[in-house]
Amino acid sequence: MLTRIIYVSRALSPMPLEIKDILLASRKNNPVLGITGALCFLDSNYLQYLEGEASTVNALYQKIEKDPRHSHSKILVHDQISQRAYPKWSMALLTWNEETKAIYRLFNPDSALDAYATDPASVPSLLEAWARTPNWMTL
């Protein structure tokens, strides 16, 4: 059974140097685990999408929750999916630019540019819209 978890958390610094380490580890480990997804770093907040087998995704999220590089982890979406949204992304990275900010505002018009305040109902569609842009660093 495939599952996705989309969560937000607060980075401990405004531009953490650990992003490179997170991406390297994810891109090395996720293919072995059968996990795909995306990491968004948006003004000191992480918004991450993980998909794969339920037990593996749930175990990874429990590990991520304990990671000292962030705090206040909050699940926005946790549900079953029939197919992967990002089957070729071991872990893609998105950061803010004018295009990604404009898309965020379309899906969260009453919110400041704060990923932590993202409307859970909008987040899957928001990520799909972002995925159609060329703003991703993928591997």
Report residue 72: phi and psi, to 5°: 55, 45
How far, in Å, CA of 71 to CA of 73, rounded? 6
CATH topology assigned to domain 2-137: Alpha-Beta Plaits (3.30.70)
Tens of pLDDT, residue by residue over 81-136, are 999 999 988 888 888 889 999 999 999 988 788 888 899 999 999 999 999 998 88
Which residues does 112 contact at the CB level (< 8 Å), separation at least 6?
Answer: none
Domain residue limits, the chain:
2-137
Q: What distance in Å separates the CA atoms of residue 38 and residue 86, rounded to the nearest whole number?
A: 8
Q: What is the pLDDT of residues 33-88, one digit of tens each?
A: 999 999 888 888 889 999 999 999 999 999 999 988 888 999 999 999 999 999 98
